[in-house]
């Protein structure tokens, strides 16, 4: 049955006709127990949906939709290794990457958990070797700088986690500086190489296929820099001492020059944007030490178990996903702001942009039909305290309806003994709560608001979710990331799309390859469109040597 013709969808459509006319402030006035009824907790995370334009009846209808779409079976398929990535005939087993070593999971008749644990132990050995100063460069000096070269999931996850958890860095890792390079144009790498000591720098080349053009271009530039800086003719020695490869394609790493002993592997069923739990997370392990990295995995695993076993009406990923379905498909809100009130989470919005828009930015269902309903909204975000001075004007008084996720930790600096920092955290909490309150309730929270001129009025009714962490730790960050991962999966099940492929990305890569050769040919002779041909001619004329 087409999604929009299903009984649950029809019931929600009828319910939305009533709820669309209601204001969130009126929902609070009519129900003094609203927070109690619409907030949910799991371990270190509290999910508050009370400032959404919904009621308990709304949630009941939404969970009926999840049941109707067979979410429970899809969830079991995800965890058991069924080929949920149908277009590539693969499972999506990122949950297995954070499963404890005592567990078991058969894939094609083979238990994959021992191999996953073996990879983690291999990574641990390298991390400990670097931390102890036993990994040495071409001069015999120990490595003190690591540069991760990757793009997409090979960059965003490790970068985000390293920034978020920098305060958890153990003493043995404090002397290691970690940098991230992803830009295709070489600008990040060029600036960085001017500051680094080649004799003490280790490069980590992270690419699932080890064919990603931008990653390999940066890697080759780094290799040439090392050769010129060291004045060494022995490229094999330089590569052995200064490069580690992380990939699912061991033969490609070997072909590039990375020896088997310096390769960290993972599997084809590991999606790029879900890969930080694998050896792609090497920079995180280097930053936190393996105990910290294992805490991150354990936090994600705890959320996995909650998602797999909790009833829909108490299940945080399911509730967060269904809230999004309600806003997107029934209240017609197609913009989503991610607003962490924590500078440590500055890269979290970008991480979620990839996770959600690359996963669910689809208009074709699993059975090959075009959708006649909206799927993934446009995501963007910024640290909340900065966003207040950037785009909150649009949220408060603009013409667009926007759903907002506020993310904040209840505790910070409580062990520092620094009263000034404690006060700053309280100021941050106050701003987070105030902004979500006004966005949802409008100026009804103020006295005499109706007497204000119209340009000073706040209409409110922007749906807001608050995710309150007890404290930002490796375990709670693991829970938070897994929460959003499973939210994406639930929404894909409702919409009937495959969240684990990304065919929309591929065409641009192919066309870029053809344009690369055109840059060194005669643009006028090409059969490109007039815009591309004209731009090529302009670039060609600017590249000609001066007389």
Q: How confident is the model at residue 443 (pLDDT cuts 50, 70, 90)?
A: very high
The residue annotated as part of the active site, out of 332, 414, 456, 509, is 509
Torsion, Cα 220 269 477 481, to 10 degrees, reads 110
User: Which pLDDT score is estimated for 523?
Assistant: 64
> Cα separation of 524 and 41, whole Å?
63
Q: Which CATH class name applies to 95-286? A: alpha beta
CB 366 within 8 Å of CB 499: no
CB 159 within 8 Å of CB 150: no
Q: How confident is the model at residue 544 (pLDDT cuts 50, 70, 90)?
A: low
Q: How confident is the model at residue 10 (pLDDT cuts 50, 70, 90)?
A: very high
Residue 524 has pLDDT above 80, yes or no: no
Nearest to 226 by CA among 246, 244, 202: 202
Cα distances from 95 to residues 126, 175, 281, 319, 497, in angstroms, run: 24, 32, 14, 19, 20
Residue 547 has pLDDT above 60, yes or no: no
Alpha helix segments (H runs only) across 20-55: 24-30, 34-37
Identify whether 389 is a catalytic site residue.
yes
* Farthest CA pair distance, the chain: 80
Adjacent-strand bridge partners of 214: none
The residue annotated as part of the active site, out of 389, 447, 510, 544, is 389
Residue 526 has pLDDT above 80, yes or no: no
Residue 31 has pLDDT above 70, yes or no: yes
> What does pTM read for this prediction?
0.95
Identify whether 223 is a catalytic site residue.
no
Mean pLDDT of 453-467: 95
Alpha helix segments (H runs only) across 257-407: 282-309, 316-325, 348-353, 359-360, 384-387, 392-397
Residue 447 has pLDDT above 90, yes or no: no
Evaluated on CA atoms 83, 84, 88, 90, the torsion sign reads negative
pLDDT digit string, tens, across residues 268-300: 999 999 999 999 999 999 999 999 999 999 999
Q: How confident is the model at residue 510 (pLDDT cuts 50, 70, 90)?
A: confident
Which letter does DSSP use for residue 410 in this model? E
User: Which pLDDT score is estimated for 545?
Assistant: 61
Cα distances from 151 to residues 85, 139, 280, 321, 332, in angstroms, run: 22, 30, 11, 27, 33
Q: How confident is the model at residue 1 (pLDDT cuts 50, 70, 90)?
A: confident
pLDDT digit string, tens, across residues 146-170: 999 999 999 999 999 999 999 999 9
Identify whether 509 is a catalytic site residue.
yes
> Cα separation of 40 and 316, whole Å?
7
CATH of domain 3-67+310-495: 3.40.50.10490
């Amino acid at each position: 049955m087409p999604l929009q013709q299903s009984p649950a969808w029809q019931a929600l459509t009828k319910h939305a006709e009533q709820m669309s006319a209601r204001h969130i402030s009126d929902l609070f006035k009519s129900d003094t127990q609203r927070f109690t009824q619409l907030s949910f907790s799991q371990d270190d995370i509290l999910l508050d949906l009370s400032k959404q334009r919904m009621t308990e009846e709304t949630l009941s209808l939404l969970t009926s939709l999840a049941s109707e779409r067979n979410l429970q079976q899809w969830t079991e398929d995800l965890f058991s290794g069924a080929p949920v990535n149908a277009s590539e005939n693969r499972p999506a087993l990122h949950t297995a990457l954070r499963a404890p070593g005592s567990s078991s999971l058969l894939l094609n008749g083979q238990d994959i958990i021992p191999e996953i644990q073996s990879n983690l132990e291999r990574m641990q050995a390298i991390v400990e070797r670097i931390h102890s100063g036993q990994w040495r460069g071409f001069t015999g000096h120990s490595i003190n700088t690591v540069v991760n070269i990757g793009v997409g999931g090979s960059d965003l996850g490790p970068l985000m986690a390293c920034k978020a958890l920098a305060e958890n860095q153990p003493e043995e890792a404090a002397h290691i500086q970690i940098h991230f390079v992803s830009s295709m144009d070489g600008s990040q790498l060029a600036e960085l190489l001017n500051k680094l000591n080649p004799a003490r720098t280790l490069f980590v080349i992270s690419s699932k296929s080890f064919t990603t053009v931008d990653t390999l271009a940066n890697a080759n530039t780094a290799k040439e820099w090392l050769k010129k800086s060291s004045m060494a003719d022995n490229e094999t020695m330089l590569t052995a001492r200064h490069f580690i490869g992380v990939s699912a394609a061991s033969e490609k790493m070997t072909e590039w020059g990375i020896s088997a002993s310096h390769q960290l592997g993972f599997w084809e069923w590991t999606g790029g944007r879900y890969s930080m739990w694998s050896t792609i997370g090497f920079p995180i392990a280097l930053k936190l030490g393996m105990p910290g990295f294992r805490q991150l995995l354990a936090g994600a695993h705890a959320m996995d178990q909650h998602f797999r076993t909790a009833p829909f009406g108490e299940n945080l990923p399911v509730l967060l996903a269904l809230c999004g379905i309600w806003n997107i498909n029934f209240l017609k809100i197609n913009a989503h702001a991610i607003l962490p009130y924590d500078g440590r989470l500055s890269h979290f919005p970008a991480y979620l942009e990839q996770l959600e828009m690359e996963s669910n930015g689809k208009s074709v269902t699993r059975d090959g039909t075009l959708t006649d309903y909206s799927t993934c909204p446009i995501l963007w975000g910024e640290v909340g305290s900065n966003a207040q001075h950037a785009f909150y004007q649009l949220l408060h008084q603009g013409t667009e309806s926007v759903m907002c996720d506020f993310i904040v930790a209840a505790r910070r600096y409580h062990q520092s003994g620094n009263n000034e920092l404690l006060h700053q955290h309280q100021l941050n909490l106050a701003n987070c709560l105030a902004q979500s309150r006004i966005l949802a309730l409008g100026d009804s929270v103020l006295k005499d608001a109706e007497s204000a001129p119209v340009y000073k009025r706040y209409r409110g009714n922007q749906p807001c979710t608050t995710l309150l962490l007890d404290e930002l730790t490796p375990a709670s960050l693991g829970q938070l990331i897994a929460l959003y991962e499973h939210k994406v999966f639930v929404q894909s099940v409702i919409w009937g799309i495959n969240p684990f492929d990304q065919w929309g990305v591929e065409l641009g890569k192919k066309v870029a390859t053809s344009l690369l050769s055109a840059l060194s040919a005669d643009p006028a002779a090409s059969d490109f469109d007039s815009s591309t041909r004209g731009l090529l001619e302009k670039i060609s004329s600017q590249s000609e040597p001066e007389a």
